[in-house]
Amino acid sequence: MTDEKPKEEKEETPKEEKAEKQPKEEKIEEQAKTEEAKPKEEPKKEKPVKREYKLNTSSEKKNPLIKRIEYMINVVHGAQATPTRTDLTKEIAKVLKVNEDVILIEKIFSECGKAESVAKVFVYKDKKEIPKYKLDKIEKRTNKKKKE
């Protein structure tokens, strides 16, 4: 008799486990159905922030050997973050009245706590004059930010 009881208990436990699993599976199926029935919410689109920058050229150096003009430009960006290269390129193109393709921003210097930055900018006469290694270097810098 003692041998029979443990066998019966052992037989009941798998049945109980199956009974417990069925409601869980049903709950999962119900959740999936309700999720399908709900209208999908579109992700909230962030409104593009219109940023205004004040640009002042502090120095201008013509470099005829490399066929470019080198600028040091002071950028006042208020209480906003340091401007991106693409934003600065657009603003510089407007101020200097040149095409965006010939502008290369070498470096943007920012001091902690100040709402000003200094950008080292090269403006080439033609896009063909820009050295390939410079283009590759700048593309890597701009694409890093996009991937993150």
Q: Is residue 111 part of a domain?
A: yes
* CATH code where residue 73 lies: 3.30.70.330
Of the CA atoms within 13 Å of residue 43, those in its CB half-sphere come to: 2
The Cα–Cα gap between 101 and 124 comes to 9
pLDDT tens, 111-130?
888 889 999 999 999 999 99
Q: Is residue 6 part of a domain?
A: no
Q: Is residue 134 part of a domain?
A: yes
pTM here? 0.62
Number of folded domains that form the chain: 1
The domain in which residue 108 lies consists of 54-147
| Nearest alpha-carbon partner for 114 in 87, 82, 89 | 82
Residues linked to residue 122 through DSSP beta bridges, in sequence order: 70, 104
Higher pLDDT, 61 or 7: 61
Q: Is residue 17 part of a domain?
A: no
Q: Is residue 83 part of a domain?
A: yes
pLDDT tens, 56-74?
999 999 999 999 999 999 9
DSSP for residue 72: E
Q: Is residue 123 part of a domain?
A: yes
